[in-house]
A and B are shown apart, each in its own frame.
Chain A
């Protein structure tokens, strides 16, 4: 979907991105993470040609983007930034309709799409479509920002620390919505953050960058169970590493089928971290597990949480 080959970008004497090769597969939720100055935002902004590389090639859906018109390329991609950047003189509806309008969609189709997106982002269409950005809270503004980016049904959504400026509760809600949107639309998402918890919660694959170079790529579980070096261990957090690891696996993966145990069942889709919390709260070392329809699936033992991750 997106492929960087030997990409380098310098700003004066500073090398922001250093001979980077990276691929993002179709349908992935790829999180780029790293400390300030790691080059993660530069990488993202090279994907839609807001920044041009000094060396190397970038392909999007097989095409070398240096040969495409930047405007045409960008209209195929959604772009969400931390400071949102809604057009203050346009209503929510017109903001969301910005790219469809540039693409010349018929009015009725644009209107239906706005309704659909506001609903998807949990904003009441009738209440908010005519509102101006200054009338919205920070979280609502970023919801509109995401809706605007998704409006023209892009194959790729680029997000540059979109939720960093939000309070933790709003951030959590928007993260959950992004995960749901990713599942529903199947859009390839490239998401920049400096928050490892956010990366672990959202990513299907993570790429860790430091000083313009790729340090490690892998699934959240790969990163947690086999950190490449001390920089990754620092990023992952040494203190609560164990809890983070439990958070990326579900109860279903460790359930012993057929057994039964007393008490309220855990949901199979809950994380092992939630399971541990439930065991501590109830003072027990085993809990029953039920599937999405509430049918018993088996039990989860404390001892099973202590094993290393099941790896293929």
Chain B
């Protein structure tokens, strides 16, 4: 009983359960969609396997987020070091441009160069994820208290030890919040990538919109929503681990 209760109140476990049921069990819901949309000849999207679409979707959104973390994190670290301080303004401008450029526009511009497929989508999503990661990396590193830095230097930590042992762990919760924003936005935006031929959960949505098939749209959208819930809960869990040392942590 108490196990069931803890499962039902655990957002991550519950989300994973619902997600797995939707991804694997979508064909079983065919009668349900047939009943809900009696006018449709084909109430279930069957051109692709939902598991394959989900994995491709995750690979695209996850890959773009990972590249954005590496690039944005490195850039954020660089502009808070003495040698990179003067590039701070330039970096802010570039990251803000990446964010305000609509992903659809990036897709439109990059398709002629890179062709159809996942490559232009990866670039658009990476650019889109950069701003929150860069901003939060810089904010997190700048929030490290000066006395802590001075004590670290005074005891003989070099720049590398100071960064890895002190600054990054202390900035981690703030950086993680930026990664979370980027990842959640990328997860949703990855659906648009299907307009340029990348296979994602956006495919049933776009096919459904083009063919006036609301059942397809719903089938793609509920899985994306379930993914977003799981991702959000996962980040919550991770954030709690990274802030165990803070006042009020359990």
- Chain A interfacial positions (CB closer than 8 Å to B): 48, 50, 70-75, 78-79, 81, 83-90, 98-99, 102, 132, 134, 145, 148-149, 158
Contacts and interface: CB of A to CB of B under 8 A. Distances in A.
B83 interface: no
Interface stretch (B14-22, B122-130, B152-160, B177-185): B152-160
B113 interface: no
A243 B206 CA distance: 89
A134 B155 contact: no
Given A71-B157, A99-B156, A102-B156, A85 B150 contact: yes
A72 B156 contact: yes
Could you tell me the dominant secondary structure of chain B's interface residues?
A: helix
A35 B145 CA distance: 26
A79 B155 contact: yes
Given A102-B161, A134-B246, A84 B169 contact: no
Given A85-B150, A134-B246, A75 B170 contact: no
Given A74-B156, A102-B156, A84 B245 contact: no
Contacts of B158: 71
A90 B151 CA distance: 14
B111 to A, nearest CB: 45
B245 A99 contact: no
Interface in B119-158: 145, 147-158
B147 A71 contact: no
Contacts of A74: 153-156
Nearest to A85: B151
Interface in B213-248: 245-247
Contacts of B156: 70-75, 99, 102
A71 B156 CA distance: 4
A90 B245 CA distance: 7
A83 B148 CA distance: 9
Interface size class of B (residues with CB under 8 A): 20 to 34
B166 interface: yes
A96 to B, nearest CB: 11
9 contacts: A73-B156, A74-B155, A81-B147, A83-B145, A84-B147, A85-B152, A89-B169, A89-B170, A89-B245
B166 A87 contact: yes
Contacts of B151: 79, 81, 84-87, 145
A88 B170 contact: yes
Contacts of B145: 83, 85, 88
B150 A99 contact: no
Q: By CB atoms of chain A within 10 A, which of B155, B157, B158, B169 has the most?
A: B155
Nearest to B248: A134
B211 to A, nearest CB: 54
Nearest to A89: B245
A225 to B, nearest CB: 36
A169 to B, nearest CB: 23
Contacts of B245: 88-90, 132, 134
Given A88-B148, A102-B157, 5 more contacts: A71-B156, A87-B170, A88-B246, A134-B245, A134-B247
B95 to A, nearest CB: 27
A50 to B, nearest CB: 6
Closest 3 CB pairs of A and B: A85-B151, A79-B154, A74-B156
A134 B244 CA distance: 12
Contacts of A70: 156
Nearest to A132: B245
Most chain A CB neighbours (cut-off 10 Å) among B149, B153, B170: B153
Nearest to A151: B155
Nearest to B243: A89
Interface in B71-89: none
